[in-house]
Structure 1
Amino acid sequence: MAYQRYKFPLLVQAEVNQEKSDDSLFEKDYQLSVDDGFQQGMEQGYQVGYEKGKAEGWSEGVSLGKEEGFQQASSEVDNKMNKTYLEFSETLDSIISSMKKQQEIHAETTKSELIELVRKVARQVIRCELTLMPAQMVGLIEEAILTLPASLEEPQVYLNSQDYNRIKTLISEQNLRWQLIEDTDLKIGECRVILSGNEVDAGCEHRLDACITQLSSQLGSE
């Protein structure tokens, strides 16, 4: 049997190889540490950045949300206020217009009632005056005859029955050449005078109408 001779490695060489092996392990460990540190740094940086971005985004979103919400709410409130104001303004204008119309109607009614009252009172006063002093009617008839063209004919004087009876005695006493004619269609105080085909109203009603017209005009201008 043949035997092969074993050579022991040199001690220095073994130490060198051991150092290389240790260096290689150290480099591997170091690289792993660097890689782990980089990875952790990346993860931590990402997490920190994520949290910060999330917080900033949340804060900005809330701020923008509040601002947009406030603007939207303000716009809606303004629109509602404008709508409410327009509706209130229209209602108020309608009420004012209605009140003015009612005031005008009331004023016109009051004016008409006042004028009619004045007419009634004045007519009663005239009747009383002519009843107590029929000579006033005679004076009105004389004034009316003077407005007509001169004529030799006797004037025809148309009177209400009551006025006719009162004045008949007076013209006889005063020797007035009037032809008195009783007219039942005439009211107390009314009188028509006809001379040579010309006619004039010598009664009190047309004078009263003129006074009432003037009064109505004055009340209407106030």
Structure 2
Amino acid sequence: MLKALGIQKTYGSLQILKGVDLEVAQGEIVTIVGASGAGKSSLLNIIGTLDKPDAGQLYLKGQEISKLNNKQLSQVRNKQIGFIFQFHHLLAEFNAIENVCIPAFIAGVSKADAQKRAAALLSKLGLSSRAYHKPNQLSGGEQQRVAVARALINEPAIVLADEPSGNLDSANARDLHQLFIDLRNEFDQSFIIVTHNEDLADLSDRKVMMKDGLIVQ
């Protein structure tokens, strides 16, 4: 479903990625672990088309997306890739359902359809009663579940999560980890998760170790 071949990336004089190969199957949860500076987030940014590799190829659902122009990449990013970040990145002036709707609006979905889809996701995530609360009225765990709903609104092929439980307490982190598994089981979406949380890594289908810009196991 996703294939990265020979991905290289250099910033200034520092080579961050030194020829990374990674394949992820449909419906597979893969965690990427390793020390800070190993290249985990850089690889995730390239897979998510937020950054471009200096060399290598990236394929999503059989399409070589590493050759697309910026406009085409924006469309792939919006419709095929969901993002979950450590710090939520919810817009403070919008309530939960409005935050969830934003990627759907960008994709051209009507307001009525986007809100219907967002409400269904928030209900599934146990947030129906919080749909019209703004981020500062939500707990950390609730904010992260809103971010998960936002990542899923366009039914992406793959969801990328960068330290998604890094700001959560242990109970909320466990709930989030189980949520990823439940979502995969229901929607058959693929997940790539960068994490330092060993409990989350051990729950995944496959754990990938990065060291010094390479996958070592």
Higher relative strand content:
2
Higher relative contact order (CA 8 A, sep 6+): 2
TM range (shorter): under 0.3
**Normalising by structure 1, what TM-score?**
0.19
Larger Rg: 1
